[in-house]
Amino acid sequence: MKKVLVCCNTGVTTSLLVTKIKAVAETRGLEIEIEASPISTAADHIGDADAVLLGPQVGFAKEAFEEAGAKNVRVITTEDYATQNAESILDSIESIL
């Protein structure tokens, strides 16, 4: 099973977003483990993740995540994040896995 980590400042907004993404993944029959994390503790989880998505407000950290060994790091578009567009975000996840 593929693992995806979704990060933002505190993890609150991404927790809501992850719930929506999981629901869409279930309807598509995908077996993906998706977890939300605040950026402050994300380093504890990046080694296990097959992909890391960053909220646009923490997109500045993309290079640091890559240097720390994170795989497939992407920044969620501002539009998708603001509208909680789980369909589009899941499409993005599928394209990098």
Average pLDDT over residues 21-28: 96
- pLDDT band of 14, cuts 50, 70, 90: confident
Q: Which tens digits make up the pLDDT trace of 53-78?
A: 999 999 999 999 999 999 999 999 99
Mean pLDDT of the chain: 93
- Which domains, ranges and CATH numbers included, belong to the chain? 2-96 (3.40.50.2300)
Q: Strand pairing of 51-54 and 2-8?
A: parallel
Mark whether 8 is an active-site residue.
Answer: yes
Catalytic pick from 4, 5, 6, 8?
Answer: 8
Give how far Cα 19 sits from Cα of 33, 35, 84, Å.
11, 9, 10
Q: Which tens digits make up the pLDDT trace of 76-97?
A: 999 999 999 999 999 999 999 9
